[in-house]
Amino acid sequence: MKEKVVIGMSGGVDSSVAAIKLIKEGYEVIGLFMRNWDSFANGEYSDAPVGENGICPQEEDYNDAKAVCDKLNIPLHRKDFVKEYYDYVFKYFLDELEKGRTPNPDIMCNKYIKFDMFAKEAEKLGADYIATGHYARIKDGKLLRAVDENKDQTYFLSQVTKEQLKNVLFPIGDMLKSEVRKIAEEYDLITADKKDSTGICFIGERNLTKFLKNYLPNKPGNIVNIDTKEIVGKHIGLMYYTIGQRRGLDIGGKEDRMFVVGKDLEQNILYICIGEDNDYLISDSCIIEDVNYLSDEKINKCTAKFRYRQKDVEVELEYLDNNEILVKYPQGEKRVTPGQACVLYNGKECLGGGIIKEVRKNNTKVWYL
């Protein structure tokens, strides 16, 4: 009797080829499409994207997933997690923005939706395993980086627990993206040339400024040069800016050399500095909270990423109470940002990670972050 795998079919090329690989490996494959966002929740200022056929991209994705499953002769189920996504992911996103932090909703979507709600639904369908099109690998119970390091997605899996990763398959984790595209072309799949999705997980590409007007009030205020303390412009709301940002400040003049460096929520001030090597952009340690451990061994030296696609940084770890870690990088690092994930690695292995709670310099909390 074949083992049964329920795979998340997103309507993209990665999940399409992951399904092909599972079929080739002899599994009974069942597709499951998740609908996690209600387009009616877009609101007056939605700026919601519209697909080529005049329907929202989410419905286009479902149609593409259905076409792939029909071609591969596997069933496709559809499940709404709209309420769960709103409660566990989108509210978190809004709460973090209100705190002046820069959240990563894709990480929480993996934790609460793709590897929790989805897994429970797959269990109802009799799954022995669940699978996704993530670029990652699991070997001997360890989460490893993908072979294609340019596409590696372990950063986004850092809050998924060891228990959640049991009975999970990542069929394309040992493939290059070019190989994935080639297989999709060989099977003449509708997703073969489909571009990779961007934007917030399941909400998609849109003008974030317009979109967030539906949920958070705009509070314009002053933009202040942190070195000179002079007012250099006006911001449209602190939630729309992140540390290290240099575009979209609408200041003029030297804007190409201006970088967001901090926020004062009480006075509603956005701080900028001049030059990407400005000392205000550099910290030497941070505290991370809500740490998720994927390794049984707690090591004191490893590498870390403070944002996706960043090169690994050498760090030292000091384990604190309340499931927090002091992450030290005495060589200094730019643009470490509260609310973002700090993900820890030992070579190819992802050790887990936490959310950046506090950024520090010279053993003191940075006052403007």
Would you name the residues annotated as active-site residues? 109, 201
Tokens 């999705």: give the residue: 197
Contact criterion met (CB below 8 Å) for 341 and 155: yes
> Of 307, 285, 369, whose CA–CA distance to 104 is shortest?
307
| Exposure on the CB side of residue 117, measured as CA atoms within 13 A | 23
Contact criterion met (CB below 8 Å) for 190 and 11: no
Alpha helices in 233-303 (DSSP H): none
| Phi/psi at 365 (5° precision) | -60, 135
User: Would you give the end-to-end CA distance of the chain in angstroms?
Assistant: 57
Contact criterion met (CB below 8 Å) for 339 and 323: no
* The residue type at 201: C
